Structure 1
Amino acid sequence: MKTDFEQWLSAQFGETGPFTLFIVLVRIAGDDVVPLKSSYAHLIGDDMTWREMRGLLDRAGAAWDGVAFFVGLDHAGGPLPDAAASRKLREVEADVKSDPLALNRGRFFDREGRHMRIDEVAR
């Protein structure tokens, strides 16, 4: 059975073809969601399993609890050029740091590849 991540990746690739994937690893501590590390990759296929993706994420060297993926496309479709992807990654990082609810604008997954949401908590 495919994980939520694998189902999402297949649907996303079917809709857009190749794309740039912005990745934000987070730690979840009680009611707090803390961004840890981020990067981007250009995906040119949908054959990556959650196990493979999780292996790559684990190599980031951070103890993470969740990961958000955001899709970027060039104006003509397809992956963004590296310079544009780097600029967009900084925007994604700033959005998530200023408001963790921004994670819901992407696709947010736990360590098992299950889709999650962040909900606002009254303090």
Structure 2
Amino acid sequence: MTPPAETDFDDWLTATHRASGDFTMLFVLLGITEATVEPLRAAWLHVVGDETRWPDMKRLFAGAGVPWSAVVFYRAGREGLVPDDEARARLASLSRALHEDRSLIREGEFFNAEGLRLRLDAA
């Protein structure tokens, strides 16, 4: 039985899974200050089913060992699940691009530490 959605993240994950089935997502933990948005750590996760909820993700993020303010998620590809080697390559490419251009956050699904949707506005 799928647990109820309690955050914007939960709503996004269940809607994405309903629309596309199992998929691989890339995510980047971010540190946000009044003046900056900094990529901190990045990883990928294969989403099989729609049972993952925000508390599960926060436990996963704790393993990164860094204080974080927000996270941005991207689907690794339209094909759904991608092999680990491909996910690793796509994540490396995304990480390089985000370090060069923070506006790419707008192309992902951006959430704060409470799992609520954020929007990145131009400075």
TM-score (norm 1): 0.91
Letter in structure 2 aligned against 1:12: T
Give the counterpart of 1:112 among 107, 111, 114.
Answer: 114
Cα deviations across residues 4-28 of structure 1 (Å, max 9, x unaligned)?
0000000000111011110100100
SS in 2 for 1:6: helix
Separation in structure 2 between the aligned mates of residue 73 and residue 62 of structure 1, nearest angstrom: 27
Separation in structure 2 between the aligned mates of residue 48 and residue 114 of structure 1, nearest angstrom: 15
Cα deviations across residues 3-61 of structure 1 (Å, max 9, x unaligned)?
00000000000111011110100100112000000011111111111111111112210
How much does 1:73 deviate?
Answer: 3.0
Separation in structure 2 between the aligned mates of residue 49 and residue 4 of structure 1, nearest angstrom: 10
Counterpart in the other structure of 2:104: 102
Higher strand share: 1
Letter in structure 1 aligned against 2:60: L
Give the counterpart of 2:21 among 6, 17, 20.
Answer: 17
8 A Cα contact 1:5 1:109, kept in partner = yes
Separation in structure 2 between the aligned mates of residue 92 and residue 24 of structure 1, nearest angstrom: 9
8 A Cα contact 1:100 1:118, kept in partner = no
TM-score (norm 2): 0.91
Structure 2: state its 5+ residue gaps: none
How much does 1:71 deviate?
Answer: 0.4
Letter in structure 2 aligned against 1:59: G
Counterpart in the other structure of 1:37: 41
Counterpart in the other structure of 1:8: 12
Letter in structure 2 aligned against 1:79: L
Alignment length, in residue pairs?
Answer: 119
Q: Kindly report the root-mean-square deviation, in angstroms, between the aligned alpha carbons of the 2 structures.
A: 1.2
Structure 1 stretches of 4+ moved >6 Å: none
